[in-house]
Structure 1
Amino acid sequence: MNLTPDSKVLIQGFSEFISATHIAQMKAYGTNLVAGVNPGSGGQQLYDLPIFDLVEEVVEQFGAIDTTIICVHPYQVLDAALEAIASHIRQIIIISAGVPPLDMVQLLRKAEAGETLIVGPNSPGIIVPGKILLGTQPSEFYTPGSVGIVSRSSTLTYEVAWELTKAGLGQSISVSIGSDAIVGSSFLQWMQILDEDETTEAIVLVGQPGGDSEEAAARYITEAIDKPVVAYIAGRQAPAIKNWRQTGNLATVIGRAPNFGTAQSKLAAFQAADVPVAERPSQISELLKKAIH
């Protein structure tokens, strides 16, 4: 992974998922934004960035690009990401929400073959406080430190960061893996990255109902993670939703436990793994301080 102020960063697309404010904030934070790609706008300047029609043109002019931030229409994400992979970009952050699941399946197969790390879709990106901002996270909530945050939520990611900042606990890296049905990188991958990261002393995992990624993370923490972990599960009071109208939906729940994907299932998994779970975001810092000392 290359997440340093020297990393060359590209933006693909300028849809409603990103604004001039986000781009200005990334630049002000020291992120090395070199160019934008917007087919049909090549040769223009947008938000003080030179715009190109193709990713390969950016690579020709600036050399190897470390990270691309994709902000195109969800139905164009697959093409944009495949273009980035073809230009040997190894870190892809997808801000756009609502990418078709089959497009994601195809993209992930391609990414795995080329060892490309994909964050998102439906993600505000990554921040290494004090060093680099990749995406739309509000940097003012963060302060440099040693707590790593990995989250499925968007806004909750920075709410948790703000609670830590207020409690005097700085952050080493914060990533939202995205909250679409199918996302690129998993809790497991990021737990491993944070466990191996020398600047990270403890990890906060922020989950939410749906799927079983938190349960898998709980098992993985027991088996492979040495650092203290504190979890928070959003939506504990949210009603369980089952839609029986289509056979496809019916097939997804047959043979699964009745509480599959519920907040209760996730809480039970962390309990079994001896991972402390905060009842509200403001409690996370208390549990962290206990876990660290």
Structure 2
Amino acid sequence: IAPRGGRIGLVSKSGTLTYQKMFELADIGFSTAVGIGGDPIIGTTHIDALAAFEADPETDCIVMIGEIGGDAEERAADYIKANVSKPVVGYVAGFTAPEGKTMGHAGAIVSGSSGTAAAKKEALEAAGVKVGKTPSATAALAREILTSL
């Protein structure tokens, strides 16, 4: 996929879902796409990308893809609520993941209620993020928002 420039800032833990969003929204295009990975130790965080997108005049809408494990999405939700004025659309992968099982890489593991997809979705929605029920629904939400701007 060779994305063209556009109005969406994309930050994602999932490489596969990054490709899917870039394909689904290729006609709109991306100001920047950042793949942060889902391992426990990363260089760039959701918050780093959100701050950059908020400051970028070329970004009109932010798409954030998260997944089970850790608390990065919950921390990002707090940041969004306090610091982001642009519309944010989200998706959290892993609603059907069994507790205690690693899914794909070391960071995607749920223990107890910490790091669950449901907890992340709830935190994001409380911050005003429109959270899609499926990856494709997330793309549709971003498209709707950009059409209304």
How many residues in Structure 1 have an aligned counterpart in Structure 2?
Answer: 139
Structure 2 distance, partners of 1:163, 1:268, is 25
> Would you say 1:275 and 2:129 are equivalent positions?
yes
> Would you say 1:160 and 2:21 are equivalent positions?
yes
Counterpart residue number, 1:284: 138
Structure 2 distance, partners of 1:230, 1:172, is 15
Unaligned runs of 5+ in 1: 1-138, 244-252
Q: What is the CA distance between 1:291 and its match in structure 2?
A: 2.6
Q: What is the CA distance between 1:151 and its match in structure 2?
A: 0.5
Structure 1 distance, partners of 2:63, 2:101, is 29
Give the 4+ runs in structure 1 shifted more than 6 A.
none
Q: Which amino acid aligns with 2:134?
A: R
Q: Cα RMSD between the aligned structures?
A: 1.7
TM-score, normalisation: structure 2? 0.86
**Which residue of 60, 71, 77 maps to 1:218?**
77
**Which residue of 203, 228, 239 maps to 2:87?**
228
Counterpart residue number, 1:190: 49
**SS of aligned partner of 1:190:** helix
Unaligned runs of 5+ in 2: 103-110
**SS of aligned partner of 1:178:** coil
CA shift in 2, pair 1:241/1:172, >3 Å: same
Structure 2 distance, partners of 1:234, 1:149, is 15
Specify the structure having the higher radius of gyration (Cα).
1
Q: Which amino acid aligns with 1:276?
A: K
CA shift in 2, pair 1:163/1:242, >3 Å: closer
TM-score, normalisation: structure 1? 0.45
Q: What is the CA distance between 1:242 and its match in structure 2?
A: 6.5
Structure 2 distance, partners of 1:215, 1:270, is 7
Aligned partners of 1:169 and 1:285 also within 8 Å: no
**SS of aligned partner of 2:43:** coil
Q: Which amino acid aligns with 1:156?
A: L
> Would you say 1:265 and 2:119 are equivalent positions?
yes
Structure 2 distance, partners of 1:169, 1:285, is 11
Q: What percentage of residue pairs aligned between the two structures are identical? A: 40
